[in-house]
Amino acid sequence: MTMVYVVLVLYMRNGWMKLPYFTNHSKMPISKVTVIIAARNEEHNIGKTLDNIVAQQYPKELLEIIVVDDHSTDRTGEIVESYGDKGVKLITLDEGNKLNSYKKFAINRAINESSGEIIVTTDADCRMGSKWLLSIIQYMELHNKLMVSSPVCYDEEKSYFEKLQTLEFLYLIGLGAAGIGNGNPTTCNGANLAYRKSLFFEMGGFNGIDELASGDDELLLHKVAEKYADRIGFCKSREAVVYTDAKENLKSFLSQRKRWASKSTKYKDKKVVVLGVCIWLFNLSLLLSLIFLLFGIFEASELVIISLLMKIGVELAFLYPIVSFVGRRELLWNLPFLSVIHSLYLVYIGIIGNIGKYDWKGRTVK
């Protein structure tokens, strides 16, 4: 299992290295873009996010911004309305408690009312540089892509726990980018995702995946990859990075990861399923070996230590170019500790993420 894991991670590293760095060029985009944010109780974040989007170095006549207020009980809607003179459009949902996937419903509603040729989704607690949109659309037009995933990174950490999350999250973002680099798209993040509106309708929107609360990004990617895997790209540019915050405590972190893991029940691509199962089985076997060694049940300590060192080594090889890309190499000092506890976390999430319900934005969903 260790050798399988090493080969898989090296394969994914190769996928990351295949992706070319993208640099902005002088030719301005010609596509009209609609940026969509589904927001619920984000009064402390939405203003900063809208300030960043309004300040984009993108032709104003080609930019539309839509925020969908998903039944907020705070001042989110009021704050968004104050940006009306800056071209921000507010849609307020009033659907009650009859849905399971409010976010997909919100995005679908905004797309139906949008005028852009390209849809770009982000979240209400994100921050981005002034060339964020320009970079993504230039890349999309230059390479004739139908869907583009772009980097998301945590920053402004306030604790050691948040720094560990940043490194672990970069691992996940790297896996998603690497899959695209290898021609087998597996994951993406809706905080920084772009696709042509015509593609969304061609794929039937969220039909078939709309009963699950999460998956407006990854499951949509899988639908597109079935037909257009070669026209999905990753914008490997520092200008295209979206920044957000890590979770403040373990409870909210596990709830978020449980939500993400719940999407795996809808995976149809067998390659993605096999990849996930192999990684889970390796971490399970390593965790059991460590437990057996601790209680004297398993005496081959050299094998366990070698497996652990190989895991840390291959993860270092994978993560080094990724943390270098975002300018966060100092995070690698945390890798040995993270690598050990990551096995426990993955095994737990792999089980709990596929059963039961979870809390999301004050709702219990599945």
pLDDT tens for residues 161-198? Answer: 999 999 999 999 999 999 999 999 999 999 999 999 99
For residues 115 and 62, give the distance between their C-alpha atoms in angstroms, rounded to a whole number. 10
Q: How far apart are the first and last CA of the chain?
A: 32
Q: How confident is the model at residue 295 (pLDDT cuts 50, 70, 90)?
A: confident
Q: How confident is the model at residue 305 (pLDDT cuts 50, 70, 90)?
A: confident
Output the pLDDT for position 40: 93
Q: Name the nearest CA neighbour of 309 among 278, 335, 331.
A: 335
For residues 274 and 350, give the distance between their C-alpha atoms in angstroms, rounded to a whole number. 13
Output the pLDDT for position 140: 97
For the cut 70, the answer to whether the pLDDT of residue 132 exceeds it is yes
In the chain, what are the domains? 20-158+184-251 (3.90.550.10)
- The H or E element spanning position 231 is none
Structure-derived torsion over alpha carbons of residues 267, 268, 270, 273, reported in degrees to the nearest 10: 10
For the cut 60, the answer to whether the pLDDT of residue 364 exceeds it is no
In the predicted model, what is the mean pLDDT of residues 309-335?
A: 96
Percent with pLDDT over 70 in the chain: 92
Please provide the average confidence, as pLDDT, over all residues in the chain.
Answer: 90
Output the pLDDT for position 130: 96
Q: How confident is the model at residue 66 (pLDDT cuts 50, 70, 90)?
A: very high
Q: Taking the model in full, what pTM does it have?
A: 0.91
For residues 129 and 298, give the distance between their C-alpha atoms in angstroms, rounded to a whole number. 52
In the predicted model, what is the mean pLDDT of residues 121-137?
A: 96
For the cut 70, the answer to whether the pLDDT of residue 357 exceeds it is no
For residues 86 and 63, give the distance between their C-alpha atoms in angstroms, rounded to a whole number. 11
